[in-house]
Amino acid sequence: MAHSHKPEKEKPVGPSSKLVSLVAQFDDPDSLVAACDRARREGYQKMDAYSPFPVHGIDDAIGIRRTRLPFFVLAIAFCGLAFALFLQYYVNSTDESPLFPGYKFFISGKPLGVPGVPANIPVTFEIIVLSSAFATFFGMWILNGLPRFANPLHRIPRFRRATNDRFFLVLEAEDEKFNESRSRQQLEEWGATAIEECHLDLTDHEIPKNFKMAGIVLLFALLLPPALIYRAAGMTNRNPRLHVVPDMDWQDKFKTQTVGPNFSNDELVPDYLFGDPSAMRHPVAGTIARGDATGQDEFHLGYKPGSEPAPAHGGPNANTQDPAVQDPAAQAAEPEWLTSFPGGVQVSEATIARGKQRFEIYCTPCHGFDGNGGGLTNQHAQALAVQGKANWTAVKSLHDPAVKSQAVGRIFDTITNGRATMGPYQNQIPAADRWAIVMYVKALQQTGIETTGATAEASSATEAPAGN
Amino acid sequence: MASTIDMSLDNTFEDPSRRAPLVLGGMDYGDVTDNVAAIWEADRPPKTWYVVFTIALVLLGILGACLFHLIMKGTGVWGNNNPVYWGFPIVNFVFWVGIGHAGTLISAILFLFRQNWRTSINRAAEAMTIFAVVCAGLFPGVHIGRLWVFYWLFPVPTEHLAMWPNFRSPLLWDVFAVGTYATVSLLFWYMGMVPDIATFRDRTKTKLGKFVYSLLSLGWTGSARNWHRYEMAYTILAALATPLVLSVHTIVSFDFAVSQLPGWHTTIFPPYFVAGAIFSGFAMVVTLMVPCRSLFKLERLITIRHLENMNKIIMATGLMVGTAYGIEFFIAWYGGVKYEGFAFWNRAFGNYWWAYWIMVSCNVFIPQLFWIKWFRTNLVAMVIICIFVNIGMWFERFVITMSLSRDFLPSSWAMFRPTEIDILMLIGSFGLFFTLFTLFCRFLPVIAISEVKNVIPHDHHDDEHGDHSGAEVAAAH
């Protein structure tokens, strides 16, 4: 158990070391308590007793006041309660919040918000216990001034028995009543079996050199992150932001309006997954989207059933993908378009409002908000066409006299099946909404907006055959 | 220190006029320290220690290989099927969590009830708690399938997904309950150990030991002011751990009871689970302590009286569990729900009848032997009974989980068959447990030294050093 170097190092007493306390050893707890009691009566205040186990009655003998730890724990427990309830409310009963949106999620019939609190009790209880336990554990060590990695008491070999089978009373030199020779005498009087001096080594306070160097290096290293942040402020960077935890943000799937995967290495001979570049697929032949059963009636056709002229007509079944197929002769033959809205479509402001909203989603990219063909797609494509970078047929103005005069059924058919370069929308827009759009278009045409010259001419020139 | 140990000493008497000693052989403070520290101060642990440690390491290796296989292949390597979605993983989880509960009961509940006999066994029992919870946490931990996103269990904000755990689900309650339980048990265990680690720090002869134990003991000196706050903190932690331990197994039982399955959806589950947990946990403590005390010569600290007390608790909780089995059947009949009735008839006489009768034999019939004092005080007999109890408690969880195999719809009935991986992982979890426990025995104080010193009658202890029997010491007071 002998430690060779330490005791020798402590021996020299002079200006290099300072007496901090007298350490008196007692052989049993009762004499320790008695000595503590005597010391307190003598007026000593800065003293402490050391024992291998908590000695009964020592608190009163030294005059230790009851710790405030329980109140601290109670306060933390209340914080835990508030935090737990807030967390669960925020996370499962709210949808929108500025920082991290919650997930309002109705499940197993358990209500949200305050009525749902019973289901939150178990977690609340656990969080209270956890936070209180942490408060107790860390609060106790903090109040005790531990961890403490240097204590002159540990340098006294005899004091090692404080954790084994001996009991110590330590009188601190800082105490007003402390007088080395008198205190020593008193301790002997009170039954100490051995008395040691505890010295604080004043020479040993220098920080080792390599510690200093490491500290300086660390200090400079600490400056690096703020420096980098300062440098990065206001900088532009082409790289995407660092994504620390990807979770499910990127998935192997095709998004709408994107090109499907090309498996070919040869650019000229593409090998698309679906045979064509589009990642979106039309519904499988013979299937209908739920709620969009296309009956063969006025509501779904836009004309009186049975009035279609011939199989070759350019109406409902025209191949709109390829304008070259459009046969002017066939176009001449038209079914009997509905001139008023069919049954099931209510002419009302609400329907027009619905039509406006749908129009703004599906039609404005090309036709523009005013229906004059000023949509962004059209603008951009025309600009490219002027530079010779694209082949584009200008979008038709809805205020073109040729369109204005069209029957509602005819416009419905255009939306449903497309016309010339315009694609069909029957798969995107349910029939009722298509009628609502027609109603809105008709309303738009009544506003007196004039066809803009160039666009109107260009469109009427290219689309002339399509007009009636 | 007394050189011979008087094993003829009997402190199991029941005489109200005499207090039975908790420490035998007239040990004084120094003797207690020497006795406990001897395990760790010995240059080499006993041969048996090496044998146990090697076996445990091999089993741990098997567990590691199984885990690797599982992570590479997915949870399909288990026998879990439809409708038995929860097979061995939940059985093993509940089994191990239950084992852990005895440690907290001894350290917290018996502390609050001022049961001083706990001091000799609480440290090892607390260590057992922590290692058991480690084993328990493993199973649901790997059951999540995609291990690399394990943090989805916790309410961690995600960058782009409004994705949070469902706080109304018992499985999430489990995460918080078991997580809190593991953390609080660890704090409690460590805090209790600090004064004893300080003792080791002051005795160690190696530089490494000095460094490690100095760090772990946080500069503990045994100051009266420190003891005062320490004892307060210990009491508070005990008061926190007491409802916690009850809540943990209650919440574990909610995993079953909150569902709508016949045989699971019963209000008796929480108390019945807690009683079962203490039952199996105490059986594990006895199974561990009996070889430990012989191996490390702790007979004077862990006395026959300690073991007898534990055996009495095992018998009492065993009777509670047996009552619960009976009540379940009564309610199944009295409730008049035919699905409930079928579930219980099926447990006893259906596809897993053998598991049910193993459970009843091990948990209800065999512990009745503890009515006889000879079984309570005979080391070999009590270990055998306790091993039976643990087998029975494992089967209890198996029987409950297998209610899944025959639910409402006969067309979806299916038998669960464990795969080799299932069985190897169960065995491997014992490897993990015993590896940790053997290391603990070797490097940390197995007995709460400072607490035991508190229960030694301390008047004139030096006079009685080694001369008188403990019973006489006690009689003198």
Q: What is the value of pTM for the model shown? A: 0.72
3-state secondary structure of A17: strand
Task: Go through chain B and tell me how many residues it has.
Answer: 477
In this prediction, residues A197-208 reach a mean pLDDT of 75
User: In chain A, which residue's Cα lies nearest the Cα of B41?
Assistant: A1
State how far the Cα of A27 lies from the Cα of B460, in Å rounded to an integer: 11
In this prediction, residues B349-356 reach a mean pLDDT of 91
Q: B473 vs A152, which has greater pLDDT?
A: A152
Q: B65 vs A33, which has greater pLDDT?
A: B65
Q: Which residues 33-62 of B have a C-beta within 8 angstroms of A?
A: 33
Residue B12 has pLDDT above 50, yes or no: yes
- Tokens standing for residue A431: 């029939």
Residue A455 pLDDT: 47
Q: B16 vs A89, which has greater pLDDT?
A: A89
DSSP string, B236-298: HHHHHHHHHHHHHHHHHHHHHHTS--TTT--TTHHHHHHHHHHHHHHHHHHHHHHHHHHHTT-
Q: B3 vs B340, which has greater pLDDT?
A: B340
Residue B151 pLDDT: 84
Looking from the CA of B440 toward its CB, the CA atoms found within 13 Å total: 22
Q: Which of B41, B119, B150, B164 to mutate to test the interface with A (most CBs of A within 10 A)?
A: B164
Residue A464 has pLDDT above 50, yes or no: no
- Tokens standing for residue B326: 């009976």
B458 touches chain A (CB under 8 A): yes
Q: In 3D, which of A404, A410, A402 has the Cα closest to residue A307?
A: A410
The crossing angle, in degrees rounded to 10, of helices B122-143 and B420-443 is 150
Q: What are the pLDDT digits (tens) for A150-180?
A: 888 888 888 888 888 888 888 888 878 788 8
Phi (first) and psi of residue B407, to 5 degrees: -105, -145
Bridge partners, residue A198, by sequence = A21
Residue A141 pLDDT: 93
- Tokens standing for residue B288: 């561990």
The distance of Cα B399 from the centroid of its chain, to the nearest Å, equals: 21
Whether A47 and A72 have beta carbons less than 8 Å apart is answered as no
Q: Which of B202, B218, B237, B261 to mutate to test the interface with A (most CBs of A within 10 A)?
A: B202
Residue B160 has pLDDT above 50, yes or no: yes
Q: Which of B223, B234, B235 to mutate to test the interface with A (most CBs of A within 10 A)?
A: B223
- pLDDT over 70 percentage in chain B: 91
Residue B177 pLDDT: 92
- Tokens standing for residue B333: 């009949």
pLDDT band of A124, cuts 50, 70, 90: very high
3-state secondary structure of B466: coil
Q: Phi-psi category of A314—alpha, beta or left, where left has phi over 0 and alpha has psi -120 to 50?
A: alpha
Residue A458 pLDDT: 45
Provide the 8-state DSSP code for A283. P
Residue A461 pLDDT: 39
Residue B394 pLDDT: 94
State how far the Cα of B253 lies from the Cα of B273, in Å rounded to an integer: 6
In this prediction, residues A302-313 reach a mean pLDDT of 70
Q: B6 vs B320, which has greater pLDDT?
A: B320
- Three-state SS across chain A? CCCCHHHHHHCCCCCCEEEEEEEEEECCHHHHHHHHHHHHHCCCCCEEEECCCCCCCHHHHHCCCCCCHHHHHHHHHHHHHHHHHHHHHHHHHCCCCCCCCCCCCCECCECCCHHHHHHHHHHHHHHHHHHHHHHHHHHHHHHCCCCCCCCHHHHCHHHHHHHCCCEEEEEECCCCCCCHHHHHHHHHHCCCCEEEEEEEECHHHCCCHHHHHHHHHHHHHHHHHHHHHHHHCCCCCCCCCCCCCCCCCCCCCCCCCCECCECCCCCCCCCECCCCCECCCCCCCCCCCCCCCCCCCHHHHCECCCCCCCCCCCCCCCCCCCHHHCCHHHHHCCCCECCCCCCCCCCCHHHHHHHHHHHHHHCHHHHCCCCCCCCHHHHHHHHHHHCCCCCCCCCCCCCCHHHHCCCHHHHHHHHHHCECCECCCCCCCCHHHHHHHHHHHHHHHCCCCCCCHHHHHHHHHHHHHHCC
Q: What are the pLDDT digits (tens) for A367-402?
A: 999 888 888 988 888 888 888 888 888 888 888 888
Residue A80 pLDDT: 95
Residue B296 has pLDDT above 90, yes or no: no
Q: In 3D, which of A405, A408, A397 has the Cα closest to residue A370?
A: A397
pLDDT band of A185, cuts 50, 70, 90: confident
Count the helix, strand and coil residues of chain A and give each as a percent rounded to the nearest 5.
45, 10, 45
Q: B297 vs A308, which has greater pLDDT?
A: B297
- Tokens standing for residue A151: 């204590």
Chain B hits for A101, Cβ within 8 Å:
162
Query: How many other C-beta atoms are found inside a 10 Å radius of the C-beta of residue B368?
Result: 14
Q: Kindly compute the dihedral angle of the four CA atoms of residues B440, B443, B449, B450, in this order, to the nearest 10 degrees.
A: -100
Q: A78 vs A420, which has greater pLDDT?
A: A78
Q: In 3D, which of B126, B390, B121, B99 has the Cα closest to residue B241?
A: B126
Q: Which of A93, A123, A154 to mutate to test the interface with B (most CBs of B within 10 A)?
A: A123
In this prediction, residues B422-438 reach a mean pLDDT of 94
In this prediction, residues B421-427 reach a mean pLDDT of 93
Provide the 8-state DSSP code for A337. B
Bridge partners, residue A22, by sequence = A171, A197
B23 touches chain A (CB under 8 A): no
Of A449-453, B72-76, B143-147, give the lowest mean pLDDT range: A449-453
Residue A310 pLDDT: 59
CA distance A140 to chain B (A): 6
Q: A266 vs B15, which has greater pLDDT?
A: A266
Residue B3 pLDDT: 40
- Tokens standing for residue B65: 């290989």
pLDDT band of B463, cuts 50, 70, 90: very low
Whether B99 and B281 have beta carbons less than 8 Å apart is answered as yes
Question: For residues A436-451, b (16+ Cβ closer than 10 Å) or e, as one string?
Answer: bbbbbbbebbeeeeeb
Distances (CA, A) of B253 to A218, A352, B7, B135: 51, 58, 43, 18
Chain A hits for B201, Cβ within 8 Å:
163
State how far the Cα of B426 lies from the Cα of B431, in Å rounded to an integer: 9
User: In chain B, which residue's Cα lies nearest the Cα of A170?
Assistant: B223
Query: How many other C-beta atoms are found inside a 10 Å radius of the C-beta of residue A411?
Result: 24
State how far the Cα of A89 lies from the Cα of A93, in Å rounded to an integer: 5
Inspect the interface and report whether the beta carbons of B240 and A133 lie closer than 8 Å: yes
Looking from the CA of A27 toward its CB, the CA atoms found within 13 Å total: 9
Residue A91 pLDDT: 86
In this prediction, residues A444-467 reach a mean pLDDT of 57
Q: What are the pLDDT digits (tens) for B110-120?
A: 888 888 888 88
Residue A84 pLDDT: 93
Phi (first) and psi of residue A278, to 5 degrees: -70, 135
Nearest-CB residue to B233 (from A119, A120, A140):
A140
Inspect the interface and report whether the beta carbons of B222 and A70 lie closer than 8 Å: no
The distance of Cα B136 from the centroid of its chain, to the nearest Å, equals: 11
User: In chain B, which residue's Cα lies nearest the Cα of A89?
Assistant: B167
State how far the Cα of A270 lies from the Cα of B167, in Å rounded to an integer: 50
Residue A255 pLDDT: 81
Chain B hits for A48, Cβ within 8 Å:
223-225
Q: A197 vs A438, which has greater pLDDT?
A: A438
B222 touches chain A (CB under 8 A): yes
Q: What are the pLDDT digits (tens) for B445-462?
A: 888 888 888 877 755 444
Provide the 8-state DSSP code for B107. I
Chain A hits for B231, Cβ within 8 Å:
54
Given the structure tokens 């001091």, which residue do they identify? B119
pLDDT band of A466, cuts 50, 70, 90: very low
Residue B101 has pLDDT above 80, yes or no: yes
Distances (CA, A) of A196 to A31, A170, A173: 17, 9, 13
Q: In 3D, which of B126, B84, B120 has the Cα closest to residue B105?
A: B126
Residue A373 pLDDT: 85
pLDDT band of A136, cuts 50, 70, 90: very high
Residue B378 has pLDDT above 60, yes or no: yes
- Tokens standing for residue A408: 């509602």
Q: What are the pLDDT digits (tens) for B178-218?
A: 999 999 999 999 999 999 999 888 888 888 888 888 889 88
User: In chain A, which residue's Cα lies nearest the Cα of B231?
Assistant: A54
Q: How many H-runs (helices) and E-runs (strands) does chain A carry?
A: 16, 4
